[in-house]
Amino acid sequence: MSVMESDPMPVAANGRPKAPKAARKGVRVRGSFVPYVLIAPAVVILLTVLAYPLVDLFVLAFQNVNDYLHLSAPDLVKFIGFDGFSKVLGSGDFWQSVQRTVLFTLEVVAASILISLLVALLLQRISKWAKVTVVTALMFVWAVPQIVTGTLFKWLFANTGGVVDYWFYLATGDQGWRTHDWFADPNQGLYIVVAIAVVWGALPFLVIGINAALTQVPKELVEASKLDGANGWESFRHVVLPVIKPFLVLGTALSFIWDFQVFGQIWALRDNAPEPGYRVLGVYLYQEGLGSSHYSTSAVVSILMILLMLAVLVFYIRQVIKMGDQD
Amino acid sequence: MATDTAPTVLRRSREDDAVGRKRWATPLWNTVALLFALVMFFPIYWMVLTTVKTGKDLLSVDPTFWPTGISTASFQTVFDDPNFLTDMRNVAVITVGAVILGLAVGFLGAVSVARFRFTGRNFFIASMLVVQMVPLISLVIPMFFILKNIGLYDQAFGVILAYLVFTIPYVVWTLRSFIVNIPKELDEAALVDGCTRWGAFMRIILPLTVPGLITTGVFCWIQAWNEFVIANILLSSNNQQTAMVWLTGFSSSPTHGADYGSQMAGALMVSLPVIVLFVIFQRRVTSGLTAGAVKG
């Protein structure tokens, strides 16, 4: 860690050496209005499109807007205190979605980070042409929108004409595989097919990011550790890992954010109508809120979802802000 | 790709490279890497292959891994769909609007936090980070109410406004690190040479931030183009929707539900603008990633 503490990233990403720290501190213009004028548009717009809806979300969570009628007849709208919260927290459906979301997120984040770390390390020891090939393939995958990923994997795993079933049939010789329905059992559909689709889409960002971080590892240090008798794992653990740790932390946090609110892939994979077994929190709150017009219930679920995410991300946010302060 | 080749350090033996890797193993690792690339690329190959397959190939019991003939029927089906081109145009308008507004507003904010110290600066920076973590899906219902009240529901402009929720914080957060890396001495030199503050901004900061603007612009473009949840809820008419919403409707409709040829053709068409952008800006995308992300 000592390398990191003295200077988090000695060379900026664009290759320009950074100016010494003291010189990079901004000017403190006492009483000047210039910086405030510059952030004013951003602040005003974010207050309108973000802060106001957030406040509205809280208000809604304490009201009884649970059918379409309450939208057109404001007289019927009442504040019901924490009744909405106790209803959601007492509902088995909600806790099942939480459980599904947590399991799914753990599985997918762990798989994405582990695979991308291995692939990034692999990229370090292959010929240039092979590296270009891998990165090109990754760029194409990266460009595929989530909805398209869902549509595409629905076809790959289809039970008539799906190529994955065909491969299983070729590998096992069992005719039953030809029409295997991966989605009939939601556990199989969610934890295998959706998970594969999400990991597939997440790998490019993570592999390329970790690879970029690995290029920052000073080769001399790795060599020195080898000369000092460290084996491969030890020099990875003590020399490489500290340097790529900031990106690993960021990559894990971002993967967590994305996977925890996964929606698009499931939506497309299940033809706009995910069955109850596919209800992770994102799907649950969407179907409650807009499918069944339970707006207030859905607002409660939204707030609980934000709180769950923040509880995990607090550690990450603190670390990033600490790093940002060093600028 | 970042291919910075550090000066070669001394070799210890012929078989090992500088960091002690076995050279003979390279072909083995190359093979593993190529297999990985193959697995990753296969779904895309399969999508493209499916779009040009003839009806006979599409219906054959054993999938064919090579087309026996080329057919454009699937694309024909997509272009014949009355909403396809309209929805492509809608998403283009919404994306361009969200990117331009996001860049303009975000850039000003980034200059402010990168070049000035002021009360509330840290709070502003921190909120730009936290805000990016609020799940969009949780904001969709209040947004739906608000846009309904101000008459922007089912309008492209309403969605553009909604997209600023993620473009502005991203642009501020990422461009800030680009601008911080422009040496302060350059501004000062310009000021010493008689530039006004505005002149220094126009001649130093703006030109040097152009690469950053392009990178963040590309990222915002991709996010806006691909966004689904907000567009799906805030736009209701068929002729107002975006391409992603169109695709989900098209591929779950009774007429096309089993027609994977045209589903894949539609999927390919709505992804093309993003794929092309990625190919053109490949290096910027990767450098933007390291600038915005690795730095934290």
Please write the tens of the pLDDT for every residue from B191-250.
888 888 888 888 888 888 888 898 899 889 989 999 999 999 999 888 899 999 999 999
Fill in the DSSP letter of residue A178.
G
Q: Region A70-86: what's the mean pLDDT?
A: 84
pLDDT-derived band at A113 (thresholds 50, 70, 90) equals: very high
* Burial (Cβ within 10 Å: 0-12, 13-18, ≥19) of residue A19: middle
Structure tokens at B142: 């209040």
Q: Does residue B53 lie within any of the structural domains?
A: no
Asked if A148 lies within 8 A of B287 by C-beta distance, the reply is: no
Q: Give pLDDT, residue B18.
A: 52
Contact B115 A26 (CB under 8 A): yes
Distance from CA of B139 to the nearest CA of A (A): 6
Task: Look up residue A188 and give its two tokens.
Answer: 């199989």
In a domain, B25, yes or no: no
Backbone angles phi, psi at A244, to 5 degrees: -90, 0
The tokens for A196 are: 């594969």
Rounded distance, CA B172 to CA B174, Å? Answer: 6
Dig out the tokens for B98 from the structure: 């969200």
**Is there a contact between B133 and A310 if contact means CB atoms under 8 Å apart?**
yes
Per-residue pLDDT of chain B (296 residues; tens, 9 = 90+): 444 444 444 444 455 555 556 677 889 999 999 999 999 999 999 999 999 998 888 887 788 888 888 899 999 999 999 999 999 999 999 999 999 999 999 999 999 999 888 889 989 988 998 888 888 888 988 998 889 888 999 999 999 999 999 999 999 988 988 888 888 888 888 888 888 888 888 888 888 888 889 889 988 998 999 999 999 999 988 889 999 999 999 999 888 888 899 999 999 999 999 988 888 887 777 666 655 443 33
Query: Which residues on neighbouring strands pair with residue B22, listed in sequence order?
Result: B16
- B137 vs A271, A282, A319: nearest CB: A282
Is B210 within 8 Å of chain A by CB? no
Tokens of B192: 């010493």
How many residue pairs from chains A and B have C-beta atoms closer than 8 A? 359
Structural domain count of chain B: 1
Q: B142-159 pLDDT, tens per residue?
A: 998 889 888 999 999 999
**Which among A23, A205, A212 has the least Cβ separation from residue B294?**
A212
Whether residue B51 lies inside any domain: the answer is no
- B17-44 in b/e form (b: 16+ CB < 10 A) is bbbbbeeeeeeebbebbbebbeebbbbb
Query: For residue B85, how many other CB atoms are within 10 A of its CB?
Result: 14
Tell me what pLDDT residue B196 has: 84
Q: How far is A62 from chain B (nearest CA, A)?
A: 13
E strands, chain B, are 116-117
Q: Which two tokens stand for residue B26?
A: 């390279």
CA atoms within 13 A on the CB side of B91: 30
Indicate the residue of A137, A145, A219 with minimum beta-carbon distance to B40. A137
A34-45 per-position pLDDT tens digit: 899 999 999 999
* Confidence band, pLDDT 50/70/90 cuts, at residue A29: low
Residue B100 lies in a domain: yes
Query: Which chain A residues contact residue B1 at CB under 8 A?
Result: 131-132, 135
Other Cβ atoms less than 10 A from the Cβ of A124: the count is 15
Q: Are A281 and B138 in contact (CB under 8 A)?
A: no
Contacts with A193 from chain B: Cβ below 8 Å: none
Question: Model confidence at A28, in pLDDT bands (50, 70, 90)?
Answer: low
Q: What single DSSP character describes residue A177? A: G
Q: At what angle do helices A128-143 and A92-124 cross, to 10 degrees?
A: 160
Q: Tell me the domains of chain A and their CATH numbers.
A: 85-325 (1.10.3720.10)
CA separation for the pair B116, B97 (Å, rounded):
29
Give the DSSP letter string of B17-46: -TT--BGGGHHHHHHHHHHHHHHHHHHHHH
Judge contact between B296 and B132, C-beta under 8 A: no
Q: Which residue of B has its CA nearest to A220?
A: B9
pLDDT for residue A149: 97
- Rounded to whole angstroms, the Cα distance separating A242 from A239 reads 6
d(CA B240, CA B83): 9
In a domain, B40, yes or no: no
According to DSSP, the residues that pair with B16 across neighbouring strands are: B22
B1 against A1, higher pLDDT? B1
Tokens describing residue A9: 């990233």
Q: What pLDDT is attached to residue B19?
A: 55
- Which residues 284-323 on chain A approach chain B with CB closer than 8 angstroms? 285-286, 289-290, 295, 298-299, 302-303, 305-306, 309-310, 313, 317, 319-321, 323
Residue B11 is assigned to a structural domain of this protein: no
- Mean confidence (pLDDT) of chain A: 86
Instruction: Give the model confidence (pLDDT) of A129-156 as tens digits.
Output: 999 999 999 999 988 999 999 999 999 9
Task: Say if CB B47 and CB B264 are below 8 A apart.
Answer: yes
CA–CA distance, B231 with B227 (Å, rounded to integer) = 7
Residue B158 lies in a domain: yes
User: Helix, strand or coil for residue A64?
Assistant: coil
Closest among B29, B288, B290 to A244, alpha carbons compared? B290
Tens digit of each residue's pLDDT (9 = 90 or more) over A94-108: 999 999 999 999 999
Spatial distance between the Cα atoms of A310 and A117, rounded to a whole number of angstroms: 26
pLDDT tens digit sequence for A284-301? 999 988 888 899 999 999
Q: Which residue among B260, B270, B296 sits closest to A161, beta carbon to beta carbon?
A: B260
Residue type, A311: A
Per CB-CB distance under 8 Å, the chain B contacts of A323 are: 295-296
CATH number at residue B159: 1.10.3720.10
Domain that holds residue B287: 83-294
Q: Is residue B9 part of a domain?
A: no
Residue A267 is predicted with a pLDDT of 95
Higher pLDDT, A8 or A76: A76
